[in-house]
């Protein structure tokens, strides 16, 4: 039997104008900061240019196809989690072009200023592609998975195309980051049911709208969210980057999810350590810090 080594997707040079966009810091307005901290999430229009998105879309897509863990699994044989999206993490570690996008000052500065930190580190990036006909993403909180001792964590979620409601945009539980709902529950059919019921009893307001081209969202690690199914015939192509406050520390792992995240995203670290493994570079720090 012969085996073939997977081909690394191409890593073309980033054009100068796009590189400049990536390196330009962003300053949220006081109203954007207030809304993010109050609601637990913020949608931000025209954050990335159409040119930047058109440049990176095929490159991220090639990385995803190259490493797609569900390539040979038909939709009807998948769990709710696997019907929701194809997930490929840490693209920045194996594609030099995508690294410029995932480690951009543009997104990291916005994340840091929304959180109100002196700086932020990379936790990890990931491509999350909801295929044509892909299912809903169950209600969950991201920070369930993270053995990190700070609430100053945030994800930027951005699609490479417009995402109307029928293509699977995120839905957020408004102000849910303060409510301590189902923090011990991993994403699954159970989390959809448990959180769906808790949302009703706690009167959490569900908010969902489509994303325009260039629009992104930021949500805290403890904000409840889900995503609608993709009923269109085009895949919903999204990249996310998760940031943690630069002074975040590792906590004692409580769940299997914590243990595997510690191994994967903070290799070699132990409880009490700063989150500063080689996979957690500082991506933005205020000049005054």
- Closest of 280, 236, 240 to residue 127, by C-alpha: 240
Q: Which of 155, 176, 230, 280 binds ligand AKG (CB under 6 A)?
A: 155
Query: Alpha-carbon distance 98 to 126, whole Å?
Result: 11
Q: How far is the CB of 219 from ligand AKG (least distance, A)?
A: 7
Query: Alpha-carbon distance 121 to 150, whole Å?
Result: 13
Residue 79 tokens read as 């769990």
Q: Which of 36, 47, 146, 157 binds ligand AKG (CB under 6 A)?
A: 157
Q: Which of 41, 56, 85, 172 binds ligand AKG (CB under 6 A)?
A: 85
Nearer to ligand AKG, 19 or 206 (CB): 206
Q: Tell whether residue 204 is a contact of ligand AKG (CB under 6 A).
A: no
Q: Tell whether residue 142 is a contact of ligand AKG (CB under 6 A).
A: yes
Q: How far is the CB of 289 from ligand AKG (least distance, A)?
A: 27
Environment class of residue 274 by beta-carbon count within 10 Å: exposed (0-12), middle (13-18) or buried (19+)?
middle
* C-alpha angle 34-153-150 in degrees, rounded to nearest 5: 105
Helix (H) or strand (E) holding 208: strand 206-208
- Report 221-240 residues binding ligand AKG (CB under 6 A): 225, 227, 238, 240
Q: How far is the CB of 125 from ligand AKG (least distance, A)?
A: 10
Sites of contact with ligand AKG (CB under 6 A): 84-85, 128, 130, 137, 142, 155, 157, 225, 227, 238, 240
């Amino acid at each position: 039997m012969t085996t073939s080594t997977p081909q690394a997707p191409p890593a073309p040079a980033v054009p100068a104008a796009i590189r400049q966009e990536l390196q330009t810091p962003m300053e949220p307005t006081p109203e954007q900061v207030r809304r993010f901290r109050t609601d637990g999430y913020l949608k931000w229009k025209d954050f990335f240019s159409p040119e930047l998105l058109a440049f990176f879309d095929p490159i991220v897509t090639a990385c995803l196809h190259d490493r797609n863990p569900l390539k040979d699994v038909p939709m009807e044989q998948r769990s709710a989690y696997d019907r929701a999206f194809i997930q490929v993490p840490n693209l920045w570690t194996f594609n030099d072009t995508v690294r410029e996008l995932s480690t951009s000052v543009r997104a990291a500065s916005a994340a840091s200023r929304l959180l109100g930190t002196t700086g932020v580190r990379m936790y990890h990036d990931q491509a999350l592609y909801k295929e044509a006909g892909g299912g809903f993403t169950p209600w969950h909180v991201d920070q369930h998975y993270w053995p990190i001792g700070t609430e100053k964590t945030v994800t930027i979620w951005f699609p490479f195309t417009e995402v109307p409601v029928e293509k699977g945009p995120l839905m957020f539980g408004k102000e849910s980051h303060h409510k301590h709902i189902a923090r011990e529950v991993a994403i699954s059919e159970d989390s959809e049911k448990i959180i769906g019921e808790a949302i009703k009893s706690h009167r959490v307001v569900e908010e969902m709208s489509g994303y325009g081209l260039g629009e992104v969202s930021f949500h805290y690690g403890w904000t409840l969210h889900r995503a609608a199914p993709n009923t269109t015939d085009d895949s919903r192509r999204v990249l996310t980057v998760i940031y943690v406050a630069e002074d975040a520390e590792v906590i004692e792992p409580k769940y299997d999810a914590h243990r595997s995240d510690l191994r994967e995203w903070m290799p070699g670290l132990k409880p009490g350590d700063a989150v500063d493994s080689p996979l957690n570079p500082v991506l933005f720090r205020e000049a005054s810090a």
